[in-house]
Amino acid sequence: MKQLFTVISVLACFITQAQYTTLTAGQAAPDVKLRNVNNKEVSFASYPKAKGYIVVFTCNTCPYAIAYEQRIMDLGKKFTPLGYPVIAINPNDPEVSGADSFDEMQDLAKDKKYAFPYLYDEGQKVTNAYGAMKTPHIFIVSNTEKGRTVEYTGAIDNDTEGSNANRTRYAEDVIASLMKNEKPNVTVTKAIGCTVKRKKV
Protein backbone atom coordinates (compact mmCIF):
# COMPACT_ATOMS: atom_id res chain seq x y z
CA MET A 1 0.00 0.00 0.00
CA LYS A 2 2.75 2.35 1.03
CA GLN A 3 4.64 1.53 -2.14
CA LEU A 4 1.59 2.25 -4.22
CA PHE A 5 1.28 5.59 -2.51
CA THR A 6 4.94 6.37 -3.28
CA VAL A 7 4.42 5.47 -6.93
CA ILE A 8 1.36 7.70 -7.07
CA SER A 9 3.15 10.63 -5.45
CA VAL A 10 6.15 10.24 -7.76
CA LEU A 11 3.78 10.22 -10.75
CA ALA A 12 1.94 13.22 -9.35
CA CYS A 13 5.29 15.04 -9.15
CA PHE A 14 5.97 14.35 -12.81
CA ILE A 15 2.50 15.45 -13.79
CA THR A 16 2.67 18.72 -11.87
CA GLN A 17 6.09 19.50 -13.29
CA ALA A 18 5.10 18.59 -16.82
CA GLN A 19 2.03 20.81 -16.71
CA TYR A 20 3.93 24.05 -16.71
CA THR A 21 6.34 24.75 -19.52
CA THR A 22 7.75 28.24 -19.73
CA LEU A 23 6.96 29.88 -23.06
CA THR A 24 9.98 30.67 -25.18
CA ALA A 25 10.75 33.31 -27.79
CA GLY A 26 8.73 32.86 -30.97
CA GLN A 27 5.68 31.34 -29.29
CA ALA A 28 2.29 33.06 -29.31
CA ALA A 29 1.63 35.11 -26.18
CA PRO A 30 -1.67 34.08 -24.55
CA ASP A 31 -3.95 37.01 -23.69
CA VAL A 32 -4.11 38.31 -20.16
CA LYS A 33 -7.62 39.24 -19.11
CA LEU A 34 -7.55 39.76 -15.38
CA ARG A 35 -8.84 41.93 -12.59
CA ASN A 36 -6.68 44.91 -11.72
CA VAL A 37 -6.26 46.29 -8.18
CA ASN A 38 -8.79 49.03 -9.11
CA ASN A 39 -11.34 46.24 -9.81
CA LYS A 40 -11.31 46.94 -13.56
CA GLU A 41 -10.44 44.27 -16.07
CA VAL A 42 -7.18 44.67 -17.99
CA SER A 43 -6.14 42.77 -21.10
CA PHE A 44 -3.70 43.33 -23.96
CA ALA A 45 -6.55 45.01 -25.83
CA SER A 46 -6.66 47.70 -23.11
CA TYR A 47 -3.64 49.15 -24.93
CA PRO A 48 -4.76 49.43 -28.57
CA LYS A 49 -1.67 51.35 -29.63
CA ALA A 50 0.90 49.17 -27.88
CA LYS A 51 3.87 47.93 -29.89
CA GLY A 52 4.41 45.34 -27.22
CA TYR A 53 4.11 44.55 -23.54
CA ILE A 54 6.36 43.94 -20.56
CA VAL A 55 4.55 41.20 -18.64
CA VAL A 56 6.03 40.83 -15.15
CA PHE A 57 5.04 38.04 -12.79
CA THR A 58 5.81 39.54 -9.41
CA CYS A 59 4.36 39.51 -5.92
CA ASN A 60 4.08 41.26 -2.57
CA THR A 61 6.20 38.85 -0.59
CA CYS A 62 9.33 37.57 -2.32
CA PRO A 63 12.52 39.41 -1.28
CA TYR A 64 13.74 39.19 -4.87
CA ALA A 65 10.50 40.71 -6.19
CA ILE A 66 10.86 43.46 -3.59
CA ALA A 67 14.47 44.01 -4.70
CA TYR A 68 13.23 44.50 -8.27
CA GLU A 69 10.14 46.58 -7.45
CA GLN A 70 11.75 49.96 -8.13
CA ARG A 71 13.29 48.66 -11.36
CA ILE A 72 9.85 47.42 -12.51
CA MET A 73 8.41 50.87 -11.75
CA ASP A 74 11.26 52.46 -13.70
CA LEU A 75 10.66 50.17 -16.68
CA GLY A 76 7.03 51.29 -16.69
CA LYS A 77 7.97 54.95 -16.50
CA LYS A 78 10.47 54.63 -19.32
CA PHE A 79 8.73 52.29 -21.75
CA THR A 80 4.98 52.92 -21.36
CA PRO A 81 5.26 56.24 -23.28
CA LEU A 82 7.31 54.42 -25.94
CA GLY A 83 4.54 51.89 -26.57
CA TYR A 84 5.66 49.08 -24.25
CA PRO A 85 3.48 49.19 -21.12
CA VAL A 86 4.28 47.15 -18.01
CA ILE A 87 1.58 44.68 -16.96
CA ALA A 88 2.31 43.15 -13.55
CA ILE A 89 0.61 39.91 -12.54
CA ASN A 90 0.72 38.28 -9.11
CA PRO A 91 1.08 34.54 -9.79
CA ASN A 92 0.85 33.29 -6.19
CA ASP A 93 -2.13 31.47 -4.79
CA PRO A 94 -3.34 33.59 -1.85
CA GLU A 95 -4.39 30.50 0.08
CA VAL A 96 -0.77 29.32 0.07
CA SER A 97 0.76 32.80 0.37
CA GLY A 98 -1.61 34.88 2.51
CA ALA A 99 0.17 38.19 2.04
CA ASP A 100 -0.47 37.92 -1.72
CA SER A 101 -4.24 38.34 -1.35
CA PHE A 102 -6.14 40.78 -3.57
CA ASP A 103 -6.59 43.17 -0.61
CA GLU A 104 -2.87 43.20 0.12
CA MET A 105 -2.11 43.71 -3.56
CA GLN A 106 -4.41 46.76 -3.52
CA ASP A 107 -2.62 48.12 -0.45
CA LEU A 108 0.82 47.67 -2.00
CA ALA A 109 -0.16 49.23 -5.33
CA LYS A 110 -1.64 52.20 -3.47
CA ASP A 111 1.32 52.62 -1.09
CA LYS A 112 3.87 52.45 -3.88
CA LYS A 113 1.70 54.40 -6.35
CA TYR A 114 2.01 51.80 -9.08
CA ALA A 115 1.47 53.55 -12.42
CA PHE A 116 0.88 50.17 -14.11
CA PRO A 117 -1.81 47.52 -13.60
CA TYR A 118 -1.18 44.90 -10.92
CA LEU A 119 -3.41 41.96 -11.79
CA TYR A 120 -4.85 39.19 -9.69
CA ASP A 121 -4.64 35.83 -11.48
CA GLU A 122 -7.54 33.91 -10.04
CA GLY A 123 -6.98 30.18 -10.50
CA GLN A 124 -3.43 30.88 -11.79
CA LYS A 125 -4.64 30.49 -15.38
CA VAL A 126 -2.39 33.10 -16.99
CA THR A 127 0.52 32.07 -14.75
CA ASN A 128 0.22 28.50 -15.98
CA ALA A 129 -0.34 29.51 -19.62
CA TYR A 130 2.97 31.42 -19.57
CA GLY A 131 4.68 28.85 -17.37
CA ALA A 132 5.87 31.50 -14.93
CA MET A 133 8.10 29.67 -12.47
CA LYS A 134 9.38 32.33 -10.13
CA THR A 135 8.94 35.88 -8.99
CA PRO A 136 10.04 38.05 -10.61
CA HIS A 137 9.80 36.40 -14.03
CA ILE A 138 9.36 38.61 -17.07
CA PHE A 139 8.06 38.01 -20.58
CA ILE A 140 8.50 40.65 -23.26
CA VAL A 141 5.82 40.41 -25.92
CA SER A 142 5.76 42.07 -29.34
CA ASN A 143 2.50 43.15 -30.92
CA THR A 144 2.71 42.68 -34.67
CA GLU A 145 0.29 42.09 -37.52
CA LYS A 146 0.95 38.38 -37.13
CA GLY A 147 -0.18 38.51 -33.54
CA ARG A 148 1.36 38.78 -30.13
CA THR A 149 4.61 36.93 -29.80
CA VAL A 150 6.92 36.20 -26.87
CA GLU A 151 10.30 37.78 -27.67
CA TYR A 152 12.12 37.25 -24.38
CA THR A 153 11.69 35.42 -21.10
CA GLY A 154 13.70 35.52 -17.91
CA ALA A 155 15.30 38.16 -15.72
CA ILE A 156 15.11 41.96 -15.79
CA ASP A 157 18.91 42.26 -15.50
CA ASN A 158 21.84 40.19 -14.30
CA ASP A 159 22.21 41.83 -10.88
CA THR A 160 19.32 41.10 -8.54
CA GLU A 161 20.94 42.89 -5.62
CA GLY A 162 21.30 46.02 -7.76
CA SER A 163 24.85 46.72 -6.60
CA ASN A 164 26.56 46.70 -10.00
CA ALA A 165 26.07 49.88 -12.01
CA ASN A 166 27.42 48.10 -15.11
CA ARG A 167 24.84 45.33 -15.00
CA THR A 168 23.42 43.92 -18.21
CA ARG A 169 19.90 45.29 -18.55
CA TYR A 170 18.30 42.41 -20.46
CA ALA A 171 14.78 43.89 -20.59
CA GLU A 172 15.93 47.29 -21.81
CA ASP A 173 18.21 45.70 -24.44
CA VAL A 174 15.35 43.55 -25.75
CA ILE A 175 13.03 46.54 -26.13
CA ALA A 176 15.80 48.59 -27.77
CA SER A 177 16.15 45.81 -30.40
CA LEU A 178 12.38 45.57 -30.92
CA MET A 179 12.16 49.33 -31.41
CA LYS A 180 14.70 49.01 -34.21
CA ASN A 181 12.61 46.18 -35.71
CA GLU A 182 15.38 43.74 -34.89
CA LYS A 183 15.23 40.41 -33.10
CA PRO A 184 16.79 40.55 -29.62
CA ASN A 185 20.24 38.96 -29.25
CA VAL A 186 19.40 37.37 -25.93
CA THR A 187 15.98 35.70 -25.70
CA VAL A 188 16.24 33.72 -22.47
CA THR A 189 18.06 34.24 -19.17
CA LYS A 190 17.95 32.79 -15.69
CA ALA A 191 17.93 34.26 -12.22
CA ILE A 192 17.34 33.07 -8.69
CA GLY A 193 13.78 33.71 -7.60
CA CYS A 194 10.99 32.60 -5.29
CA THR A 195 9.06 29.64 -6.58
CA VAL A 196 5.52 30.49 -7.67
CA LYS A 197 3.21 29.40 -4.84
CA ARG A 198 0.91 26.98 -6.64
CA LYS A 199 -2.51 26.03 -5.38
CA LYS A 200 -2.37 22.90 -3.22
CA VAL A 201 -4.11 19.95 -4.83
Binding site for other proteins (CB under 8 A): 13, 22, 62-63, 67, 133-134, 154-155, 158-161, 163-164, 168, 189-195
Q: Supply the minimum distance, in Å, between the C-beta of residue 157 and other proteins.
A: 10
Q: With respect to other proteins, which residue has the nearer C-beta, 38 or 164?
A: 164
Q: With respect to other proteins, which residue has the nearer C-beta, 111 or 161?
A: 161
Strand 118-120 and strand 86-90: pairing?
parallel
Q: Supply the minimum distance, in Å, between the C-beta of residue 123 and other proteins.
A: 21
Please report which helix (H) or strand (E) contains residue 13, including its range.
Answer: helix 2-19
Q: With respect to other proteins, which residue has the nearer C-beta, 80 or 159?
A: 159
Burial of 177 (0-12, 13-18, 19+ CB in 10 A): middle
Q: With respect to other proteins, which residue has the nearer C-beta, 39 or 163?
A: 163
Q: Supply the minimum distance, in Å, between the C-beta of residue 18 and other proteins.
A: 14
Burial of 102 (0-12, 13-18, 19+ CB in 10 A): middle
- Chain-centre distance for alpha carbon 19: 18
Q: With respect to other proteins, which residue has the nearer C-beta, 71 or 134?
A: 134
Say how far apart CA 126 and CA 141 lie, in whole Å.
Answer: 14
Q: Supply the minimum distance, in Å, between the C-beta of residue 147 and other proteins.
A: 26
Q: Supply the minimum distance, in Å, between the C-beta of residue 51 and other proteins.
A: 26
Residues 6+ apart with CB under 8 A from 87: 32, 42, 53, 54, 55, 56, 116, 117, 119
